[in-house]
Chain A
Amino acid sequence: MTATAQPVAKEVGRVKAWRPPIFQNLWVRIAVVAICLLWTIPTLGLLVTSIRNPLLIANSGWWTSLLNPFAPDQWTLANYQQVLNNAGMGNAFLNSLIVTIPATVIPITIAAFAAYAFAWIPFRGRSILFTIVVALLVVPIQMSLIPILKIYSGAGLYGTFLGIWLAHTGFGLPLAIFLLYNFMSQLPRDLFESAAIDGASALQTFIRIVLPLSVPALGAFAIFQFLWVWNDLLVALTFLGPATELRVMPTALFAMLGTYGGQWQLLTAGAFITMLLPLIVFLVLQRAFVRGILAGSVK
């Protein structure tokens, strides 16, 4: 299926091929604006509510504040203060950083070496092993939970950061190897031949030639994996467990749903804190993100 997605990727950034005769038709523009509004309203409601006075939230819709934005005592940042301190969101934010950074960097490192060998070093069993990697791309994560949980409780890895780093590394590897292989195998053969003539070892070739050239693919996967780990609820619930001090953003937000259900000022502020970093990463690195998606996302 990714084979079909591949030629698509090369078309990004090309001049628009499909120009309709009546460019900028009025109805099309109205439809576009309506769709964009429709898609934004839910998030806007969250954002507005998170900075509204809690006394207003239960008695009027968030849109009433937008219609009358200069009424006194309407806006406040106290909701955020309360969520960060009392609801443990500050702690969860740090935990999320601590979980996410190694769980992004480690799989990329391991996958880069493996993808290079799969792409450029012939060895016995290479094609069958890579076929297995492709097969593993779509295996549901649910297939891993029970046996890994058994291993973890035996090895004392349940409820540890080490356990969740390793789990995210294992689960992220097939896609990482696959994406990096697709990229690295497209590098020109001449590069490797001239490096071999210069007497460079496989390792030197990897460090001096393959890695620097693969930065776009490494970056694209890094964004994927970062968003995936940061936003993950299931793996965190399963392997970190319910302990309060180990909560990451999604598990903390889930706990808030139970504890503060109906206290919208806290839920919305908490939800916005969980979204903050992904949205920044996304907006800043949008191009690389799109490139990664087009290079074949199967997860």
Chain B
Amino acid sequence: MTASARNENPAPLSRFVLPIAGLIGLGLCIGGLLVLVDPKGGQHLLAWFYDLLGNHSGADQLVNGQGDQLLAKIVLAIIALGVGVGGIWLLFIGVGWLVSLLQPKWRDRILPWVFVGPALALLAVYLVYPAAGTIWRSFFDNQGAFTLQNYATLTSPDFVEILRNNLIWLVVATAGSVFLGLVIAGLFDRIRREALAKTFIFLPLAISLIGASVIWSFMYAWQPATQPQIGLLNAVIVGVGGQPITWLTTNPLNIFAEIVIMIWLQTGFAMVVLSAAIKGVSTEVIEAARLDGASERQLFFGVIVPIIRGSIITVATTIAIAVLKIFDIVYALTGGRFGDDVVAVRMFHELFQFFNDGRAAALATVLFIAVLPVMYVNLHNFRRQAVEG
């Protein structure tokens, strides 16, 4: 394509330099793609390079999975960055340049599609097509016959418990995070070192769910009553004369023990958004409420909270969507074996342990249906914003 375009434009030097540079870039990208598609591409490329330098033993080691494996991985990552970023720029600039050669009428029609094309293609492949495919798959059994059985089994006691657990998660984890975030935001607003204090609450947000699970499984650690407790919670309980509790294996306590981890992580998010909202409440309103004799608590819950209602709903929906898909905490701590299973964990087990894709698809679809109201509200707000804007 580039070559034919060049032939049509016999003109100054720069007209040649750019297309030639583009062609070289295109060649590099295609070469890079070939390396990337090869599962051992990094090793093969590096081995080829070693052969070129005469280091044949090093090359053999690489291909056999020994030697400079690390270097091979780094080479691969650099190529990925080069192709991923350079290739995309080349595509946009190259095709953009080609399109600019067209008549203005065609140019203006095609150019936007060049810009949104790669994004739309990826969205189609990774989200739109799979979503449709998953819904479709949920109506078939492993032999490929149409069935409603995948959904029918969701009413069995096993699955009712899972759905109930997800509902407990949804309500308790969301309400807990939002309430604590709100109270902490209101409280911290009254002190001088606010930013510093907020950092402590906010910090867990950087920690992975699995990291948090390890942190808290240590908090929940259990030893027989005859031995010293190394988990802080049981140490406190034994310290005040109680019996150590197996937090993570006692049902339904374990569900709440796991929810605490999520609240610990998400409160910081709620606090940040709600704190900004609280600061947005106008001073006049607050002064007026004070003049009317409102106590500080009445002022906060009676005046400020209703004003920032919109932000509270935003935070609650965002956290609810994250909670709905909860996977890592349950999967890592118990695997859902102690009556604490949830939809996403069960789906993973259906997929990789029982090889029951149809039921896994049905479970995913349940999550999808649960977020549909949020999707509707999002679209509604977006439309309204677009009309107003």
Contact = CB atoms under 8 A, between A and B. Distances in A.
A1 B197 CA distance: 28
Contacts of A42: 215-216, 218-219, 232, 264
Contact of B272 (A162, A170, A290): A290
B365 A202 contact: no
A231 B204 CA distance: 12
A192 to B, nearest CB: 14
Contacts of A29: 191
Given A118-B116, A274-B210, A279-B203, A46 B215 contact: yes
Contact of B232 (A61, A232, A237): A61
Contacts of B17: none
Contact of B76 (A161, A171, A232): A161
A231 B126 contact: no
B347 A142 contact: yes
Interface in A169-184: 169-171, 173-174, 177
B301 interface: no
Interface stretch (A4-12, A67-75, A78-86, A213-221): A4-12
A34 to B, nearest CB: 10
A173 B123 contact: yes
B161 interface: no
Given A21-B290, A250-B208, A3 B385 contact: yes
Nearest to A298: B318
B197 A36 contact: yes
A298 B378 contact: yes
Contacts of B113: 123
A143 B367 contact: yes
Given A98-B76, A144-B134, A28 B122 contact: no
A8 B278 CA distance: 9
B325 A142 contact: yes
B276 A134 contact: no
B304 interface: yes
Interface residues of A, number: 138
Contacts of A105: 81, 84-85
B364 A267 contact: no
A121 B190 CA distance: 46
Interface in B113-127: 113, 115-116, 118-120, 122-123, 125-127
A62 B115 contact: no
A159 B277 CA distance: 44
Contacts of A134: 378-379, 382
A150 B332 CA distance: 25
Contacts of A283: 199
Which of B134, B230, B280, B332 has the most A CB atoms < 10 Å from its CB? B230
A146 B85 contact: no
Contact of B286 (A18, A267, A274): A18
B92 A138 contact: no
Which of A63, A136, A142 has the most B CB atoms < 10 Å from its CB? A142
B371 A275 contact: no
B208 A17 contact: no
B270 to A, nearest CB: 10
Interface string A101-140: 1100110011101101110011110110101111111111
8 contacts: A17-B283, A31-B187, A106-B84, A135-B378, A143-B127, A143-B367, A144-B131, A146-B137
Given A1-B318, A113-B88, A294-B276, 13 more contacts: A35-B200, A46-B215, A98-B76, A105-B81, A109-B89, A131-B379, A132-B128, A142-B368, A143-B367, A177-B119, A231-B211, A271-B215, A275-B211
Top-8 shortest CB links A-B: A170-B126, A231-B208, A117-B115, A114-B119, A4-B310, A282-B206, A147-B133, A123-B112
